[in-house]
Each structure stands twice: as structure tokens, then as C-alpha cells.
Chain A
Amino acid sequence: MFIINCPYCGERDQTEFSCGGEAHIERPKQPTELSDDQWAEYLFMRKNIKGIQFERWNHIHGCRKWFNVIRDTSNDKIHAVYKMGEKPPIKSL
């Protein structure tokens, strides 16, 4: 449980948000040309990092907008928040 700084609404409790998992997984541009292995990679395989992770969150009980969060999964500390479409402010720590 922690505080998330929604880029649209400001600081709110984490319970107002819904986590959408790992960020920057691009939907395949040519789905019909994907092999089964590539589909599996896109659909199921995750980095599941212990440490700095880039992830998507939705302010589901607030403005309902999606945005990105950089969070350390080993201590739940949030390092940065940035809007969809923006470049991550830090690459990694």
C-alpha cells in the first residue's frame, strides 16, 4: 500500500488505482505474421523484475486515465510517473 502521484489528479492512495502490469509491451503490428513463440512472448512472458520496473497504472476510482509508473518492486518506492506516450524520464537506476 502506497501513495501514487497521478499526473492528472495528484497524490492519491494506491487503492484508488488499478495496476495494468508491465509497460512498453507493444502490440504486434502484423499479428497475422507472428509465430506461436512470438505470440507466447507477447501474451504471457513477463520480466517480473525484482527491482526497478516500468508499469502501467489506471486511476480507476478517479480520473480513469492510464499512465506509467517507475517503481522499485523490492520496496514499493516510486521513482517517477509519466503520461502515456511520453518517454520514460529515467532509463533505469
Chain B
Amino acid sequence: MSVENAPVVDVDEAAIPVEKKMYYRFESNDKKEFRVSELAIQQSETLNRLVEAMGYTSEDVENKPAIAIENIDGKTLKLVFQWCEHHKGEAIPVDDGSVPKIVEIPEFDAKLMDIDNGLLFKLIWAADYLNIVQLLNVSCKKVANMAQGKTPAQLRRVYLLPSDEEDEAAKRAAQEAQDPRAREVEEEFEERKRQGGNSFF
């Protein structure tokens, strides 16, 4: 079932309240509606706090309007909730620095994130906004993996970064703005260029 042709999307079949499971309704900024199980919502610190504060009963969920998430579109939100349903009940990593941050991308996540870069960056932004720690971890890891072993030119293509020429224009604009720091950085940049970029780094 695709988001585009269905007004209400059950991200996870198991979330349908046959067993009287508690779930919530959310609405994206393009008016797509999602039903998400309570357990899945716990993956998002932001949404979890929100629903706790609202204290809805099952009747409230049906009778009151869906909770609006105003700055995330339906396409992105679908991915977010699919991820949350798949990983519901899993422990949320605590970033207290006590464990080394080695992030593996599970197969499900890899498939979920097999999307274009624009959508991937939206997903990252949403994971950060909704405070879904592990989704933020794996999505940032995916972006990081794209960089591995590349040259600057390859990276510009991967990440759609400005070319040298475009950069030059930005540099001129920065200098015109009389930002002393920008000029300092430029001079160093130019100096390294003059030295022939003779470091691998």
C-alpha cells in the first residue's frame, strides 16, 4: 500500500488494533496519515514525550485529529515509522561515551535506506528532529560509508558539492563581505594549492 493513494497508512500490519494494542495517529505536512504502535513510538524520544504529555485514550486517538508533524513530509515519515515499527522494543543506545561507537547497518535498514540522497538527508534530518538515536546513527553511517576511499572530485559528485569554480565565486563573495576569517582561510587554501597540494591529505 503506498502512501500516495491511501489516506491512512498502517505502517505495520501488526499495529492494527485487533488486539486492542495502543497506537497513535500522526499526520505529515502533506496530510498523509500514519497509525503507529505505542511501542514503535518509544524509539522516538520526541514523539514519546509528546504522546505521554497528551495522555490520549484509545477513544481519543480515534476521535481527536491526528497529531500533526509539521515539518516532515509523508514520504520521509513513512520511512521513519517503518523503521520504528521494525525496531520497536529494542533498547535505545545511550550516548554516554562509555562504549565505542561502532555502527553496523542491519539488512532491514540497508534496504530501507536504499533511496536517493535527497530523501536520505531528509530521513537524517527527521531522525534528528524526532530524536531517534539509532536511526540517526545508521543513516549518518550510510552517508559516511559513501565517502570511503574517494577522491575530492568523486566526493563532490557523491554529495553534490560545489565545484572549484562555484567555490571561487563563493570565495569572492566572502571576500567582498570583508569577513577577515574567510580571507584567512582562503589564503591558506591558496597557499596549499601553490604548494602543489603535495600532501595526500
Pair from one complex: no
